[in-house]
A = this chain, B = another copy of it.
Amino acid sequence: MARQSDSKAKTIAAAAQLFRQQGYHGTALHDILGAGGSPRGSLYFHFPKGKEEIGEAALGFVAERVREGIARAAEASDSAESFLVRVASHMGAELEQSGFKEGCPVAGVAVDAAAQSAVLGAAAGAAFQLWEREIGLGLERFGMAAGKAERVATMVLSQLEGALLLSRTYRSLEPIHRAGEALRLLASL
């Protein structure tokens, strides 16, 4: 039992990291297995539907991890502004630490496979919506009206995703820094 979930969890974590670096199609099952330490044949025991199911699980895994990060940032902040900036700088730090290789873990699957696979598309959408909701909650926490918070949350997430993409491509934190400025504006709406 413990062994089982350990191996499965490791595989999911490895997949998430690789999808984030190389996209969904750019990542071979072989690499995931190698990174996760699992033997080759046992994969279809844990994930009977194959790669797509791994992708779905990886999406769910990172979705929750990031959601927690957003929630923690909200708790640790004392204003909408500092909340959003904290989220942005956390993303920037992760990106920089990975040598500008690891962008948004959901984008790597969404861009590659969302248009082809219904289940992957749904999972990616669910992840983004989970984050939107958590951002909206954070905004409400600092006094923003619920309806407005929902709309602003979308803008915030868009800004963050775009800045992450630009920063990764440029291999520079500048877009994320500038996104902080935009976020402050959005927070004061």
Interface residues of A (CB under 8 A from B): 21-26, 100-101, 103, 107-108, 110-116, 121, 124-125, 128-129, 151, 154-155, 157-163, 165-166, 168-171, 174-175, 178-179, 181-182, 185-186, 189
Which of the residues B116, B158, B163, B186 comes within 8 Å of A22, measured between beta carbons?
B116
State A161–B169 Cα separation when bound (angstroms).
13
A168 (CB) vs chain B CBs: closest residue: B114
Residues in B neighbouring A174, C-beta threshold 8 A = 154
Residues in B neighbouring A170, C-beta threshold 8 A = 125, 128-129
Between A and B, 28 residue pairs with Cβ closer than 8 Å are A22-B25, A23-B25, A23-B113, A25-B25, A25-B26, A101-B115, A103-B111, A107-B111, A107-B165, A108-B111, A108-B112, A111-B111, A111-B112, A111-B165, A112-B112, A114-B169, A124-B169, A128-B169, A129-B170, A151-B181, A154-B174, A154-B175, A154-B178, A155-B179, A158-B163, A158-B175, A159-B159, A185-B186
Report yes or no: B175 in contact with A166, Cβ–Cβ below 8 A.
no
Report yes or no: B181 in contact with A166, Cβ–Cβ below 8 A.
no
Report yes or no: A158 in contact with B166, Cβ–Cβ below 8 A.
yes
Report yes or no: A169 in contact with B23, Cβ–Cβ below 8 A.
no
Which of the residues B100, B113, B124, B178 comes within 8 Å of A155, measured between beta carbons?
B178
Q: How many copies does the complex hold?
A: 4
State A158–B175 Cα separation when bound (angstroms).
8
Interface SS, A side? helix
Residues in B neighbouring A121, C-beta threshold 8 A = 169, 171
State A24–B163 Cα separation when bound (angstroms).
21
State A114–B172 Cα separation when bound (angstroms).
13
State A164–B154 Cα separation when bound (angstroms).
12
A166 and B159 contact, Cβ closer than 8 Å, known pairs A24-B23, A25-B25, A25-B26? no
State A163–B103 Cα separation when bound (angstroms).
16
